[in-house]
């Protein structure tokens, strides 16, 4: 029984260590980029030996992909389409909620933003594919919502795919512009601004 308890403690310690190295690597990658960041940087920052790193991760490549997967999964979770069924909250309110939720999630995860929006761009084919899948999923959700909106007469006539690209593009741009740095921002104002732009356009 003592053995079980000890093994359990050991397992937990391992997971903690692993999580710690992941967190440190996230910082290092987001600060220096993928290529400029060396495993030396990571282990120095984590205060572990080189070998320890390789006990937990197969390679520099591997830990980066694990980070990327984890980050993408985290964000994917907060992205949901609009609920148009009866009894659901008003559409506009839902949209404000979703946008605010995402902006806040991003706001509290700055290193994340840098990796997905800047560090991981154009790295290699596999990374590109992952990001493209991620963005593709989001575009699909948006396009689907737009198509439904069109059927209900809420959304004007237009190519939903192209519109989805535009919506996601403006969204990403705002996030990159305002949350890419370390400054404080009024996330609520941003969420509202993005939404108004996408819904009402700029004409008076």
Partner DNA sequence: CATGAATGAGTTTTCATTCAT
Partner DNA sequence: GATGAATGAAAACTCATTCAT
Applying CB under 8 A, the residues found at the interface with its own copies are 33, 35-36, 114, 118-124, 128, 146, 149-150, 153-156, 158-159, 162-163, 165-174, 176-178, 189-190, 193-194, 196-204
Nearer to DNA by Cβ, of 35 and 188: the residue is 35
Least distance from DNA to the Cβ atom of residue 84, Å: 48
In angstroms, what CA-CA distances link 169 with 24, 61, 80, 150?
30, 28, 17, 21
Residue 193 contacts by C-beta under 8 Å, 6 or more apart in sequence? 174
Least distance from DNA to the Cβ atom of residue 41, Å: 8
Tokens of 59: 């390679």
Least distance from DNA to the Cβ atom of residue 47, Å: 7
Note whether 46 and 8 are within 8 A (CB). no
The one of DNA, its own copies, none whose footprint includes residue 151, by CB under 5 to 8 A per kind, is none
- Closest residue by Cα to residue 195 from 116, 97, 80: 97
- Closest residue by Cα to residue 146 from 93, 193, 90, 82: 82
Show contacts with DNA in window 38-97 (CB under 7 A).
38-40, 48-52, 54-56, 58-61
- What is the binding site for DNA (CB under 7 A)? 7, 10, 13-14, 17, 37-40, 48-52, 54-56, 58-61
């Amino acid at each position: 029984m003592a053995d079980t308890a000890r093994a359990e403690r050991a397992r937990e310690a391992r997971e903690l260590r692993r999580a710690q190295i992941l967190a440190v690597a996230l910082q290092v990658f987001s600060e220096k980029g993928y290529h400029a960041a060396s495993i030396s940087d990571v282990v120095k920052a984590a205060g572990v030996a080189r070998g320890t790193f390789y006990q937990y991760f197969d390679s520099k490549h591997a830990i980066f992909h694990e980070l990327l997967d984890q980050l993408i999964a985290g964000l994917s979770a907060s992205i949901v389409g609009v609920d148009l069924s009866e009894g659901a909250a008003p559409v506009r309110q839902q949209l404000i909620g979703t946008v605010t939720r995402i902006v806040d999630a991003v706001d509290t995860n700055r290193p994340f933003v840098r990796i997905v929006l800047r560090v991981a761009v154009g790295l290699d084919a596999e990374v590109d594919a992952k990001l493209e899948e991620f963005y593709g999923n989001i575009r699909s959700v948006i396009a689907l919502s737009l198509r439904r909106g069109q059927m209900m007469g809420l959304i004007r006539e237009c190519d939903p795919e192209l519109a989805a690209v535009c919506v996601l593009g403006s969204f990403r741009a705002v996030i990159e512009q305002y949350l890419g740095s370390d400054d404080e921002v009024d996330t609520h104002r941003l969420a509202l601004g993005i939404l108004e732009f996408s819904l009402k356009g700029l004409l008076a």
